[in-house]
């Protein structure tokens, strides 16, 4: 019994000593299964390994292949591969666990240290990658497409991704580095194909589809000029898509719809039927006065309303409006306005439906200076202005006025005209203005005080 115990103890001590000796050996030698840059250097010292790697990595040849056809070749030197120095190998060796040497007797747990960006000359590496891309681009390429959500026949479906053959500098550099790290002498160009980032089974796409179903269960209504304009649920659903797996709006489709809404209900470009003071109802062409929907701003506001708010509730929105004359009750010109009749050479000013000023005027001299017909707007008011322009003979004029109210974008406005000896009648045919509405100075003072900015001016 005692002999057996001593035998076992001796065996243990022997094995421990052998284990320790072997472990010490790996203080100066790489573990048996160590691979660096594709070269097995197990059992080698740093000096021996450096020599092996120098011969192996200096001019190793690589081939780029696509569909069994060689499209490019390059050497490790051309790719900027740097051969590890003995010092660098010493750092690698210092990181190995010497005491775990029994686990490294086979390649099952191989310690692989490949070529990486730290020991590659980036300028040379990038140059090789660019050459590969240039060569690959000579052949027709198809672009990969992500799986995405579509709305068709009243339901949402997932369109499968498209796997294309296009390559980029980034994807080629990644595939090239992987080949160098694995010491793969034949690089398949297909490894550089830009792959779809979203597949039909992506979790993000599933979430997008679920949210789209929620949105389709609620309503969107535009409130415009006193009226409600509901958007059909099918139309809203058709606006939904995905971008990189995330729910998104088809901006083009939404923009088209909002633009059509603006064209249908906006007033800035429309001829109006206007009931005059004493000439019946006339058609007045469009001018500066009127409103339209500010399409880009409206679409921008609509995006979070549809994509987020409509997941849980119905949404009513008033579009962003630009221009003048928009009223929530649907009114256009309203009951406060300036009316100018060229035929009668007269101007009436109404405030809240009541006639407050009535005066004879002088409008533009036909045919060159004829005052333009249209619905305009008082967009500025100035005291003591100097009006400049050209006379019929081409000479310049500079007329000083005490009150100036421009109404269009060509220089036409309403102002006092102390140089006019008379107003009304046919005087304008021979002594008319360059297009402005000349007003008696004594009256113009009251006009200026009465008419506010943005007041519509109807000229016919």
82 has catalytic annotation: no
Among residues 104, 346, 434, 436, the one annotated as catalytic is 436
Among residues 29, 104, 346, 415, the one annotated as catalytic is 415
Exposure b/e, 158-196, CB count within 10 A at least 16 = b: bbebeeebebeeebbbebbbebbbebeeebbbebbbbeb
Tokens 């051309």 sit at which residue?
78
Question: Residues 301-309: contacts with CB within 8 Å, 24+ apart?
Answer: 302/249, 302/254, 302/258, 303/249, 305/220, 306/215, 306/220, 306/236, 306/239, 306/240, 306/249, 307/211, 307/215, 307/247, 307/248, 307/249
CA distances to 369, 371, 401 from 342, rounded to whole Å, are: 12, 8, 22
Interaxial angle between packed helices 86-94 and 46-57, expressed in degrees from 0 to 180 and rounded to the nearest 10: 120
229 has catalytic annotation: no
Q: ∠ at Cα 230 (227, 233), nearest 5°? A: 180
Q: Measured between alpha carbons, how far apart are the two ends of the chain, in Å?
A: 130
Residues annotated as catalytic (active site), given as ranges: 415, 436
């Amino acid at each position: 019994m005692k002999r057996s115990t001593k035998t076992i103890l001796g065996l243990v001590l022997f094995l421990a000593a052998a284990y320790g000796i072997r472990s010490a050996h790996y203080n100066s030698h790489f573990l048996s299964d160590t691979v660096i840059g594709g070269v097995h250097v197990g059992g080698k010292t740093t000096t021996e390994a450096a020599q092996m790697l120098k011969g192996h990595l200096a001019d190793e040849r690589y081939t780029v292949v696509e569909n069994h056809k060689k499209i490019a070749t390059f050497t490790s030197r051309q790719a900027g591969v740097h051969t590890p120095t003995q010092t660098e190998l010493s750092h690698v060796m210092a990181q190995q666990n010497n005491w775990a040497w029994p686990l490294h007797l086979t390649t099952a747990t191989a310690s692989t240290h490949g070529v990486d960006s730290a020991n590659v000359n980036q300028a040379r590496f990038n140059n090789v990658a660019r050459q590969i891309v240039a060569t690959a681009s000579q052949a027709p390429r198809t672009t990969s497409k992500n799986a995405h959500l579509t709305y068709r026949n009243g339901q949402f479906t997932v369109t499968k991704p498209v796997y294309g053959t296009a390559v980029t500098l980034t994807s080629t550099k990644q595939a090239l580095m992987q080949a160098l790290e694995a010491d793969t002498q034949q690089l398949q160009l297909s490894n550089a194909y830009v792959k779809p980032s979203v597949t039909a089974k992506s979790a993000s796409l599933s979430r997008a589809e679920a949210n789209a179903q929620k949105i389709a269960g609620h309503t969107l209504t535009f409130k415009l000029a006193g009226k409600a304009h509901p958007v059909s649920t099918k139309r809203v659903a058709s606006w939904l898509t995905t971008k990189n797996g995330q729910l998104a709006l088809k901006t083009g489709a939404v923009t088209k719809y909002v633009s059509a809404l603006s064209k249908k209900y906006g007033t800035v470009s429309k001829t109006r039927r206007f009931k005059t003071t004493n000439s019946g109802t006339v058609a007045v062409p469009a001018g500066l006065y009127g409103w339209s929907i500010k399409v880009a701003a409206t679409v921008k506001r609509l995006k979070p309303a549809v994509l987020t708010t409509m997941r849980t509730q119905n949404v009513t929105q008033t579009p962003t409006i630009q221009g003048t004359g928009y009223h929530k009750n649907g009114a256009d010109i309203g009951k406060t306005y300036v009316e100018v009749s060229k035929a009668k050479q007269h101007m009436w000013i109404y405030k809240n439906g009541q006639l407050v000023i009535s005066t004879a005027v002088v409008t533009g001299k036909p045919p060159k200076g004829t005052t333009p017909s249209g619905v305009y707007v008082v967009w500025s008011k100035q005291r003591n202005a100097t009006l400049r322009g050209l006379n019929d003979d081409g000479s310049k004029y500079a007329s000083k006025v005490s009150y100036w109210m421009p109404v269009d974008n060509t220089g036409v406005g309403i102002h006092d005209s102390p140089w006019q000896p008379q107003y009304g009648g046919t005087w304008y045919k021979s002594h008319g203005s360059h297009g402005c509405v000349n007003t008696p100075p004594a009256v113009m003072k009251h006009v200026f005080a009465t008419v506010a900015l943005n007041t519509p001016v109807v000229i016919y």
